[in-house]
Structure 1
């Protein structure tokens, strides 16, 4: 009887592990954008570029924060990098 109980417990744990692996794989998949989403985003950014060109540094920071962006400027190589928020 003990062997049967162990075998049943092992089957349950294996099923749990497989389910957790599947869930983890779904979570780790990078999201992709459709062509329509990219097009919409490009249009929005084109509009934003005009607004940002006239905005103060504080206003630009607020826009970037609302978009979930954190930008880091490196003066030595004159590059801007997006950092995770």
Structure 2
């Protein structure tokens, strides 16, 4: 669950960084010839905000990955034998 949350927060941060300084209507950077009606509003997102989201998401992702790895190593010796069965159907 935390792994997925980390990915979501990384995605949010990357999106904020990508949208900064772009037009709300076209999602492109405004040029000298871009009019206000073509562009709409210009997203003014502080780069620190996008960076913070990306860093926090990366931290959540790494920590949850380490916790999953440690848990798998810890449980590996205590695991019983597994039996797998398969069924094939033909029509």
TM range (shorter): 0.3 to 0.5
**TM-score, normalised to structure 2's length?**
0.33
Based on CA coordinates, which of the two structures has the bigger radius of gyration?
Answer: 1
More helix as a share of residues: 1
Q: Which has the higher contact order (CA 8 A, sep 6+)?
A: 2
Normalized per residue, the structure richer in strand is 1
TM-score if structure 1 supplies the norm length? 0.36
